Amino acid sequence: MLCHSKRFSAVLAGLFVLAVIVAWQGAIAQDVVHALSGIVKTVDKGTKTMVVKTADGTEQTIKWTGKTTVEGAKGAGKGAADASAATFDGAKEGAKVTVKYTETGGEKTAVAVKDASKATAKAVTQ
């Protein structure tokens, strides 16, 4: 009986250690950053989302937050919250953008938005 109790305790302790390791790895896992480029189809400042149509014709809905950085648009270099919704004035319908985003539960959240339209125009004029 005593041997059976020790074996059960050892198995239970092993399962506990395994559960802790799995939970720890999940906690330190970082979000994978993806990127897409395309043309802005719509911008909804009320819901803080934009729809980007990619080269293959798919439309991706991207949400932005106060931590989203913007390059090449009005308010560039500021977070979306610091520059307010005016930050996305540069990403008007028809603008070419590159968006770096994370995806959680099917929802894409922008980490950075680069207005490629202005960079392309600048390169062409030089």
Question: Please, are residues 72 and 116 in contact by the beta-carbon 8 Å criterion?
Answer: yes
Q: How far apart are CA 8 and CA 31, in angstroms?
A: 38
The tokens describing 49, both together, are 């989302």
Residues 6+ apart with CB under 8 A from 87: 70, 73, 74, 75, 76, 78, 80
Model pTM? 0.61
pLDDT in tens, 45-57: 899 999 999 999 9
pLDDT in tens, 71-101: 875 554 444 444 444 445 446 788 899 999 9
